[in-house]
Structure 1
Amino acid sequence: MTEINDRPDAERAKPVVAVFGAYGHTARFVTAELLERGWTPVLSGRDPEKLEAAAAAHPGVEWRVASIDTPDSLDRAIAGTALVINCAGPFGDTAPPLIEAALRAGIHYLDVTGETLVAIDTFDAYRDDPRVKEAGVVVAPVMAFYGALGDLLATVAIGDWPEADEISIAVALDSWHPTRGTLLASERRAGQRVIFADHHLQVLSGDEPPPTGTWAFSAPFGTQDVVGQFSTTDVITISKHLDTPRINAFLNTAPLKDLSDPDPKGPQAADASGRSAQVFLVEVVVHRGDEQRRAAARGRDIYAFTAPIVVEAAERILTGRSRAAGVVTAGEMFDAEDFLRSLPLDELTADLPSPGNG
């Protein structure tokens, strides 16, 4: 009798991945990405009608109703899976019960939140939790456009430097038609800004306006007006493993008018995949003394782009290509250069060796 583990790799069934909040905008891209790569998703969420509709787009995909208010339902939703991807906001409500369910099941947990305060709470609550170590699992919040991409770019840019005097990250968007989840997260944040200065994360109130200035982006943006102290989860992830006393974060002001649209319509599909036409550019500059290093990435649709990030992370974790377990960031877990090269970017620039040359 041939045991499963004795079968050739090509014959082994891939582990099942649960997607919670599966009928949300970003989750639909995550499900499609999993299926395209040959993984088996199980869709879950609290609304049976929306869940059934999401599953109907992928005949044969299993779906399970679950609520964060009912631990037993979460246990049933992730039973038999090896990893859960949480796509359901507000993440302050969904992350704690779903992480607890993942720990009970002994499986990996990833989420795609861009909520800075939630990310801080997750790291604080679980980074030293002995249950995570005992289970030997990964708990990785903010494995998304915000939180992971800037962290990977900063990890590449700092390279072999053991520390840096300052790390700056600047994000440019040509437009930003937010999802309902983004708008709700913004309302909950109520203007609070997370910064990293003097080696510490700090939460500033919204009483004082953030600083403004300009940033000389590369094409197609050029020099842009920017707002400083941009409250992005990249500040949190970078601070967790790169040695620097200060992290600056900037966002160009051009798309901010979209966030205040009184009648938001959300991202609009521009192709058959459902991606919008939105263009993004993320640039990281690392300073040490008189030296500086840069890394940048340009692509399309920050919501759709989250899918290849989180699914690539899941795939690497489940195939043994993660450098660390526990509550970790993308830059800690993976070969940052190799991970960036795997993503469907329109352009990636940095002091990277050419493939095959080192």
Structure 2
Amino acid sequence: MALRWLIYGAYGYSGKLIAHQAKRRGYHPILAGRNEASLEPVARHLEFEYRSFSLDNIDTLKSQLSDVDLVLNCAGPFSKTAAPLIQACIDTKTHYLDITGEIDVFEYAHSKHQAAKNAGIVLCPGVGFDVIPTDCVAARLNAQMPEATRLKLGFDSGSRMSRGTAKTSIERLGRGGAARVNGQIVDVPHAWHSQWIDFGNGKKCAMTIPWGDVSTAYYTTDIPNIEVYIPASPRLVKKMRRMNWFRFVFNWKWVQRKLKQKLESQPAGPEEKERKDNPTYVWGEISDDRGNTKELRVKVKNGYSLTAEGAVELAVHTLSQKHTGGFYTPSRLYGAKLLDQFTIQ
């Protein structure tokens, strides 16, 4: 098995976690990114080869990928990095994975299914916490109720967001939420729906969010109506709904810039102890038109720890197994049994 793979964005918070996880498992990926000054110390510490290049020129990009079998993209926002890397991977017949949670990126990757199939490569975005555990829960619930027409997913964690995740969330604020309705992804208001949910640690008020499963769970299950929830106090739900009246201001570039600048003084992400002390509770509910419902709850590792382990596992799996080319979700690529690696009893 030739493990010739490259991690792009290896000096970001999640990128570094993934690179260290690869080292622990005895692999030696090439580290890459735009900023050599940030990249070189990481590569030197891990004793990995590194390459510094931007994504601006497709010919340069293809030359950098010509001798690798797989790219794992960890450089967000993925709305900026996924398209050029996916196109270069198709052109060079290089497998593409990433850790995005961005709905538009999932949809873009899915639109390249036939091109990836023709090239004989795997396109599998979302090989981190977004969306491994929820995708596997969706697959397991669907196996119990193949005729289901509605799927609700959700998760609860006390862990802080990384700077990168927070910046991506800011980019979405002006558009509101998102849900899958009758097979189509639609923009909906912030906190469009709310309900009380037991994610596995007691009932909490929760609201809908524009999570990646709005896209991916449909390709995993064919269920036409999908919503994703996180805990939110009744006060926060009201606040988010009031924000719908003026959410358009969050599309203004200077507002986006100000909000992102405020994040720069914050830590890159949760430290190891915080990750260990804050597991994630994942919940799913499936239903059919006759009113039958089934629920599933699992407790998994902290989202950022899961991202590091899951991304490496799926990279190795993709390189070591024969797959028909095309677009995949994590559970379609590996099987829902992938969830068992991260479950906490």
CA shift for structure 1 position 94: 0.5
> Is 1:325–2:325 an aligned residue pair?
yes
RMSD: 2.5
Go from structure 1 to structure 2 and tell me whether the alpha carbon gap of 1:96 and 1:54 turns closer, same or farther (over 3 Å shift).
Answer: same
Is 1:227 matched up with 2:211?
Answer: no
Is the counterpart of residue 165 in structure 1 residue 149 in structure 2?
A: yes
Per the alignment, residue 54 of structure 1 pairs with: 42
Q: Which amino acid aligns with 1:203?
A: D
Contact 1:268 1:275 in 2 (8 A): yes
Q: Distance in 1 between matches of 2:139 and 2:21?
A: 25
Q: CA deviation at 1:73?
A: 3.5
Rounded to whole Å, the distance in 2 between the matches of 1:268 and 1:245 is 35
C-alpha distance in 2 between matches for 1:190 and 1:217 = 25
Matched AA of 2:310: I
| 2:9 paired residue among 7, 21, 30 | 21
Higher percent of residues as helix: 2
| Maintained 8 Å contact 2:135/2:213 | yes
How has the CA–CA distance of structure 1 residues 210 and 29 changed in structure 2, closer, same or farther, with 3 Å as cutoff?
same
Task: Please report how far the alpha carbon of residue 190 of structure 1 lies from its aligned counterpart in structure 2 after TM superposition.
Answer: 2.3
- 3-state SS, counterpart of residue 204 of structure 2: strand
Q: Give 1:321 shift.
A: 5.8
Separation (CA, whole Å) in 2 of partners of 1:330 and 1:14: 21
1:83 maps to which of 67, 70, 78: 70
**Percent of pairs with identical residues:** 26
Cα distance between partner residues in 1 of 2:148 and 2:322: 27
How far does residue 276 in structure 1 lie from its aligned partner after superposition? 5.6
Q: How many angstroms does 1:200 deviate by?
A: 1.5
Shift of 1:209: 4.8
In structure 1, the partner of 2:226 is: 247
Structure 1 residue aligned with 2:286: 286
Q: TM-score, normalised by structure 1?
A: 0.81
Distance 1:134 1:245, change over 3 A: closer
Deviation sequence 1:56-105 (CA, Å, 0-9, x none): 2202x100001011234423433321100000011111001111121122
Tell me which residue corresponds to 1:302: 303
Q: List 4+ stretches of structure 1 deviating above 6 A.
A: 259-262
Q: Which residue of structure 1 aligns with residue 344 of structure 2?
A: 346
Q: Distance in 1 between matches of 2:326 and 2:82?
A: 16
1:97 aligned to 2:96? no
Residue 214 of structure 1 aligns with which residue?
196
Give the partner amino acid of 1:295.
L
Bigger relative contact order (CA 8 A; separation at least 6): 2
Would the aligned equivalents of 2:3 and 2:316 in 1 still touch at CA under 8 Å? Answer: no
How many residue pairs get aligned? The number is 318
Match of 2:135 among 151, 163, 170: 151
Paired amino acid for 2:172? R
* TM-score, normalised via structure 2 length: 0.84
Q: Which runs of 5+ in 1 are unaligned?
A: 1-12, 348-358
Q: Which 5+ residue runs of structure 2 have no aligned equivalent?
A: 240-258
Instruction: Output the CA distance in 2 between the equivalents of 1:276 and 1:70.
Output: 41
For the residues of structure 2 that align with 1:209 and 1:315, how far apart are their CA atoms? 38
